[in-house]
């Protein structure tokens, strides 16, 4: 039982520094953590080596063993030349000074222990896991040979008896050392690989956010550009437009270009998307403006738009963002109907302390499963869509304290219902 306790204590001297390294270094979220921290490795291997020497395992009376060779091996292959040499020299000095052993016995044996890791530490990263295990077995066998030679020389020099029990104890010790070394290498490699995968996932998530941001900007900017294109085509295709009408169309074009610039600015500050300008807004003005803007796009698609908007529909929020929401919803409705008898109806009214805006179309409709997925990034029913327009729309409505829901059946049209809290005067 005492032997098991001593073995567990030795194993803890090896394993605990590995977890400490994981906690101190590998748990960080910076890319440089994949590069070994030689200071932490040096300190942990030196302490681990010294603890293994101070509390050795006594197999037979007078025959002591320890796992000190493992931190020595780890210091070379994972820390490099400097940590390895510092661990080696510290161990030599400690054993000579505190244990009154002839220096050449200690120096020669420890230097021999360091030969294999010294020659392979540069190539260690290129080895596969099986090859690393193979070198661990070779290292354990070489330690057994060195230890056997050491005790043979000592027994001859001091005329002590070297029995079969001693040989069996040495074999058990070296087998334990090899197994624990393999387990330590597996643990180190597993932690390092987990950290590398975690960093790759973080980078992939960042790239996903960037790509989603770029796609969102492209999608949202396309809406005002579509309106601009429609009015420019209208101006160019009609020769009898009055100067007043041309100026009105040009003002609309300029306003839409300004809106495109505002959208780009909003998405460049995506991190602050949850914040919006809080002011009293009359939705009647916004919906009338959006209806006029989308009429040209609807005419281009040969779709009719009807509006039934009550006056004095006051809410609190950001005018530009709400305009963006209504353009997205109405544009989706126009694109969902056919070019023959397509019809889109816009209704707005107050109901139970909220302002409700309904956008009704007689388009292709949606199934219940499709409705539940609306608003998910990259989920779309359009052939060339991205699904990000509705994602942004849902976010804006949610930030305004409102909600959006859909009623639809396949081939029977769709109703989009937006609810926003009605504005109340503060007393």
Same domain, 180 and 316: no
Residue 223 lies in a domain: no
What CATH number did the domain enclosing 39 receive? 1.10.1760
Same domain, 284 and 143: no
Residue 200 lies in a domain: yes
311 vs 301: CA distance, rounded Å: 29
Is residue 176 within 8 A of residue 7, CB to CB? The reply is: yes
Same domain, 33 and 182: yes
- Please state, in angstroms and as integers, the Cα–Cα distance from residue 42 to each residue in 46, 75, 86, 186, 213, following that order: 6, 7, 7, 20, 44
Helical (H) or strand (E) element with 297: helix 283-300
359 vs 341: CA distance, rounded Å: 17
332: nearest Cα among 370, 369, 288, 368: 370
pLDDT value of residue 404: 93
pLDDT value of residue 372: 87
What CATH number did the domain enclosing 413 receive? 3.30.565.10
Same domain, 23 and 125: yes
Same domain, 111 and 197: yes
Last residue of a domain, one of 166, 187, 204: 204
Residue 321 lies in a domain: yes
pLDDT value of residue 31: 65
Sequence-ordered strand ranges (E) for 54-153: 57-60, 63-65
Same domain, 326 and 192: no
327 vs 344: CA distance, rounded Å: 13
pLDDT tens digit string along 267-306? 654 444 555 678 889 999 999 999 988 888 888 788 899 9
Same domain, 27 and 121: yes
Same domain, 176 and 320: no
Last residue of a domain, one of 173, 204, 235: 204
User: What value does the CA radius of gyration of the chain take, rounded to a whole number of Å?
Assistant: 38
Residue 177 lies in a domain: yes
Other CB atoms within a 10 A radius of the CB of residue 164 amount to 7
- Please state, in angstroms and as integers, the Cα–Cα distance from residue 70 to each residue in 15, 192, 347, 368, following that order: 10, 18, 77, 62
pLDDT value of residue 163: 66
Same domain, 176 and 50: yes
Helical (H) or strand (E) element with 317: strand 314-317
Residue 226 lies in a domain: no
Percent pLDDT > 90 in the chain is: 21
36 vs 39: CA distance, rounded Å: 9
Same domain, 34 and 174: yes
325: nearest Cα among 376, 290, 284: 290
Residue 398 lies in a domain: yes
pLDDT value of residue 265: 62
Same domain, 284 and 196: no
379: nearest Cα among 389, 394, 393, 368: 389
Is residue 344 within 8 A of residue 287, CB to CB? The reply is: no
Give the residue ranges of the chain where pLDDT is below 50. Answer: 269-272
Domain range enclosing 87: 2-204
pLDDT value of residue 271: 46
67 vs 374: CA distance, rounded Å: 61
Q: How many independent structural domains does the chain possess?
A: 2
Residue 227 lies in a domain: no
Last residue of a domain, one of 174, 204, 234: 204
Residue 249 lies in a domain: no
């Amino acid at each position: 039982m005492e032997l098991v306790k001593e073995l567990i204590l030795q194993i803890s001297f090896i394993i605990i520094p590995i977890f400490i390294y994981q906690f101190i270094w590998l748990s960080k979220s910076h890319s440089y953590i994949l590069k070994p921290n030689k200071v932490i490795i040096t300190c942990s291997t030196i302490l681990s080596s010294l603890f293994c020497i101070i509390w050795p395992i006594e197999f037979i009376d007078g025959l002591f063993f320890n796992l000190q060779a493992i931190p020595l091996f780890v210091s070379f292959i994972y820390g490099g030349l400097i940590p390895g040499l510092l661990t080696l020299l510290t161990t030599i000095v400690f054993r000579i000074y505190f244990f009154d052993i002839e220096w050449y016995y200690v120096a020669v044996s420890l230097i021999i222990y360091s030969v294999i890791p010294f020659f392979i530490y540069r190539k260690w990263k290129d080895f596969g896991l099986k090859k690393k295990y193979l070198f661990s077995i070779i290292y354990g066998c070489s330690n057994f040979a060195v230890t056997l030679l050491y005790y043979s020389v000592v027994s001859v020099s001091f005329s002590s008896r070297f029995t079969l029990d001693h040989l069996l104890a040495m074999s058990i010790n070296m087998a334990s050392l090899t197994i624990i070394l393999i387990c330590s290498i597996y643990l180190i490699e597993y932690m390092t690989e987990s950290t590398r995968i975690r960093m790759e996932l973080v980078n992939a998530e960042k790239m996903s956010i960037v790509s989603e941001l770029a796609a969102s900007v492209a999608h949202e900017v396309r809406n005002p550009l579509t309106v601009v294109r429609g009015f420019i085509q209208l101006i160019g295709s009609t020769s009898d437009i009055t100067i007043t009408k041309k100026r009105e169309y040009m003002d609309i074009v300029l306003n839409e270009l300004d809106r495109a610039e505002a959208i780009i600015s909003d998405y460049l500050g995506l991190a602050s998307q949850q914040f919006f300008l809080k002011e009293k807004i009359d939705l009647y003005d916004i919906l009338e403006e959006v209806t006029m803007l989308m009429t040209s796009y609807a005419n281009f698609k040969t779709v009719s738009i009807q509006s039934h908007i009550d006056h004095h529909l006051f809410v609190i929020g950001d005018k530009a963002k709400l305009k963006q929401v209504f353009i997205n919803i109405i544009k989706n409705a126009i694109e969902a109907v056919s070019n023959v008898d397509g019809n889109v109806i816009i209704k707005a009214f107050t109901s139970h302390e909220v302002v409700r805006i309904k956008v009704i179309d007689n388009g292709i409709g949606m199934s219940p499963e499709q409705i539940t997925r609306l608003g998910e990034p990259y989920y779309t029913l359009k052939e060339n869509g991205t699904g990000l327009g509705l994602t942004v729309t849902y976010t804006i409505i949610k930030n305004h304290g409102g909600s959006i829901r859909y009623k639809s059946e396949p081939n029977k049209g769709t109703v989009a219902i937006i609810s926003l809290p009605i504005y109340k005067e503060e007393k």
